[in-house]
Each structure stands twice: as structure tokens, then as C-alpha cells.
A and B are shown apart, each in its own frame.
Chain A
Amino acid sequence: MDKEASQLERDHIHSVYEKIAPCFNDACYKAWPKVQQFISEQERGSLIADIGCGNGKYLHISSQVYKLGCDYCFPTVESARSEGHEVTVCHSLCLPYRSECFDAVLSIAVIHHFSTEERCMRAIKETARILRVGGQIMIYVWAMEQNRRRFEKQDVFVPWNPSPPSCSSGEPCPRGVQKSILHKDKELALNQPCHKLDGTSEKELAVRRQLKIDHHPKQGAFCQPQNERRPGSSLQRAVSERTPTTQSRQQTWLRYHHVFKEGELAELIDCHIPELYITQSYFDHANRCMIAEKTEMWKI
């Protein structure tokens, strides 16, 4: 089950981010103010880890703290490095840090890319491991229930367009255009009906979550993931059902997300991660947000 989940994430998250990295200019996306505030409120000299830092949107905030970013996607890490940030390449299920060495940890828009509950839990536990007792973690994940609409299902593929119409190839996109593209991508994901997977093969059941795909018939070509032809998996069958149209002038990349219901993230932490104590929980611009503190665990 874990190997299938891992392969899914490689096909529908990691490989997508690698391909869109040159155009995924985080400078075009506004940093969430409450995340900025969280960083700015850390004591001088604090050590902060940004897990899934992308190209470093939060790494430039505050010169009073030492920030270390990491991401699975090498191109985006290189981009962050080019801005002068300290970064590493790693997987968030196996962070290359010694235990309890950070004062604060960020996990912004990362956990929702894990394809099983168990992997979400492992990812959060791993961030808790590197956090010192008394340190804080901030987690942002996409919410299922949005202010104006809601996703029909929790497991979705969200399209991302690497070639916004008003940008020429290789040039950075104006902030407004990228923001509208982001908004448009979410609109596409929210508006489209989900296709239920047929069949309940043993392989499908082995992956704990059924994946439903948001399919926009007019969107154009869906970029096919690598290694998609694996017979017997309804997941892969669903992926292979997407067909390119010859009329498409743009490619669209789909990224897998598990969008979180109200209370789901809190329940995951309360039930499975006793070393974290939730101190704040709120909704912020379509995200479920949480701040939790690392507590000392006593062995009896």
C-alpha cells in the first residue's frame, strides 16, 4: 500500500512540480500574512525549518532567525538557493535533521499532497520529531469546504497551467496574472463533476483513499504521467482515461490533493500525534490552518 501511495505521489505531485518549476514563480503568489506573522514572532536566533519550501517564499522573512528550507523538487530548491537561502533536497517523510533541533517548523501546503492518511500522519510526526519541546509548528492544508464553494470529493486532481496566455515563454508572469491563474485552477477543480472510479480491485482497496478526478472537457491536453500503464490498478486506469485533444494550445498539469474536512486535521493530530498539542485552529483563505506546540512525552 505504501509503495503504491509513494508511486502515486511521484507521478502526480513530484514529477508535476519538477515540470512546472521553471514557471512556478512563487514571487507571483502572495505569502500568507499569518505565516509571515508566525515567523516574525519567533525569538531572535531561532532555528526555523520550512518543510516543502518551494522556491523560498517564506525564507526571506526576518533576518533575526535562521531559516532552513527543504523540498523534494530539485529545480525549485535551486531557485531558492539562487536567492541566497539555505536549502536541502529531501523527502518530508525522512527529514535529514537531528531530533528536536528546531524552534519552529512550517508545513505550508504540503500535507495535502500525501495520498493516504497514514502518510499524512507520518509526515506530521516527522515534523514533530525535529521540533524542540515548547517549539511550534504551523500547518496549512487545502480545505474541502470553501467560502463560496466546496470540492465534491476529498481526493482531487487540480489543474495547473504552466503557460498563462499573457506571458511569453521564459518571462516571469505578472503578479495579477498568476494570481488569476491560481484562482482559475481552483475554480476548475471546484466546478467540475468528479468521475467515480469503477471497480474495487484489491489493489485499489489497498490504497486507502479512492481517488476521484476533476476533469474539464475543454481544458485541453492533460500531460500524461510517467509509468502510467500499469494494468490492474483502477487508480492508473482513471489516470489513463484522460485524453489529449488535438485542439489544445496549452498543456495542463494535474496535481493530486487531499482536501481536508473541518476537524479532520485536528483529529489526525489529537488521535495519532500525542507529542503535539494544538494551540490554534482556524480557516484562512481556503486553507485549514493549525498551530501546535511540541510537548514533552513521559515514558512510564
Chain B
Amino acid sequence: MKLLTHNLLSSHVRGLRPGGGFPLQIQASEVRVRPVPFNAAFVARLVPRLRWAALLEAAESLGHPSELPPEPAADYEGDESFLRRVHHILLEVEVLEGVLQCPDSGRRFPISRGIPNMLLSEEEA
């Protein structure tokens, strides 16, 4: 599970307050860093789609402090150094084993071989 994927994931356990299922807290037992070809335009297009605080928190929780600013600068599109740091944390850091925990309900979703299992029972959904 890449951190870009994590930034899109949310718990939908029944009864949560709006937005209460995001961001999922990561408890990783195995993390992998693997190079991915860099594409500045691709990353720049992703930046405004991200929940920035959640990304920083996720990176921190994996022991990969991202050296990213609290918010993207206004001219981030032209800042290759910034885009490379975003690229690294979004696409090159993967959680292979661990757990995602819903912040409101505490429900835990396992990650196995890089695959989050987000299935809920019929009672939970």
C-alpha cells in the first residue's frame, strides 16, 4: 500500500460522524522503499488532490519524515526539489504488513502482502 493509496482510503463503519473514518492510522510492521520513475507533471497534478496533513502524519508514523512543509507553497509546480520529495513519500514508500485503524471507531483493517483488507461485515457496513 503506497501512501497515495492511504490518502484516499477511509473507513465507513456504520455510525461514524461525517469524515470520522479518515485518516486511517497506520501501524506498520513491514515497510518497503522502492524506486519509481519520477514524473514532475504527474506529481504536480496530484498535489491539490491530497489531504496534506494526513500525508505528513502518515509519513511520520512510518518513520519516514517527509521534510515537506506544513502546506504546499503557492509556486510548488515549479519546485522540482519539492515535487521529488512528494514523489518519494507518495509512491516509493509502501506498507507491506500492518494494520489500518479507523480513528473514530477503532476498527482495525489488516494489510497483508501490501493489500489492505477493507471488508466490513454486514452489521458494520
Interface residues of A (CB under 8 A from B): 3, 6, 43-47, 63-64, 66, 68, 70, 72, 74, 77-78, 81, 86-91, 93-98, 101-102
Contacts and interface: CB of A to CB of B under 8 A. Distances in A.
Contacts of A91: 119-120, 125
B9 A77 contact: no
Interface of B: 1-2, 4-5, 8-12, 22, 39, 41-46, 49, 51, 109, 113-120, 122, 125
A68 B118 contact: no
Contacts of A77: 115
Contacts of B51: 98
A90 B119 contact: yes
Contacts of A3: 122
B5 to A, nearest CB: 5
A44 B42 contact: yes
Contact of A45 (B5, B46, B125): B46
A77 B114 CA distance: 11
Given A3-B122, A44-B42, A94-B125, A88 B116 contact: yes
Given A43-B45, A47-B8, A94 B116 contact: no
B116 A89 contact: yes
Contact of A101 (B43, B49, B116): B49
Contacts of B116: 88-89, 96
A72 B118 CA distance: 10
A86 B1 contact: yes
B117 to A, nearest CB: 5
A89 B42 contact: no
A96 B4 contact: no
A96 B115 contact: no
Nearest to A90: B118
Contacts, number: 80
Given A81-B114, A87-B115, A93 B10 contact: no
A89 B118 contact: yes
Given A74-B115, A78-B113, A88-B1, 6 more contacts: A44-B41, A46-B45, A47-B49, A68-B8, A89-B116, A98-B22
Contact of B8 (A72, A78, A97): A97
B43 A45 contact: yes
Contacts of B122: 3, 6
Given A44-B41, A86-B2, A98 B8 contact: yes
Nearest to B5: A86
Nearest to A70: B118
Contacts of B118: 70, 88-90, 96
Contacts of B119: 72, 89-91
B25 to A, nearest CB: 15
A94 B120 contact: yes
A44 B63 CA distance: 30
A88 B45 contact: no
Contacts of B46: 45, 47, 66
A41 B115 CA distance: 28
Nearest to B23: A98
B98 to A, nearest CB: 14
Contacts of A95: 12
Contacts of A46: 45
27 contacts: A6-B122, A43-B45, A44-B39, A44-B42, A45-B42, A45-B43, A46-B45, A47-B8, A47-B46, A77-B115, A81-B115, A86-B5, A87-B115, A88-B9, A88-B116, A88-B117, A90-B117, A90-B118, A91-B119, A91-B120, A94-B12, A95-B12, A96-B9, A96-B10, A96-B109, A97-B8, A98-B8
A95 B4 CA distance: 17
Nearest to B14: A94
Shortest beta-carbon contacts, A-B, top 7: A45-B45, A96-B118, A90-B118, A98-B10, A94-B125, A89-B117, A88-B116
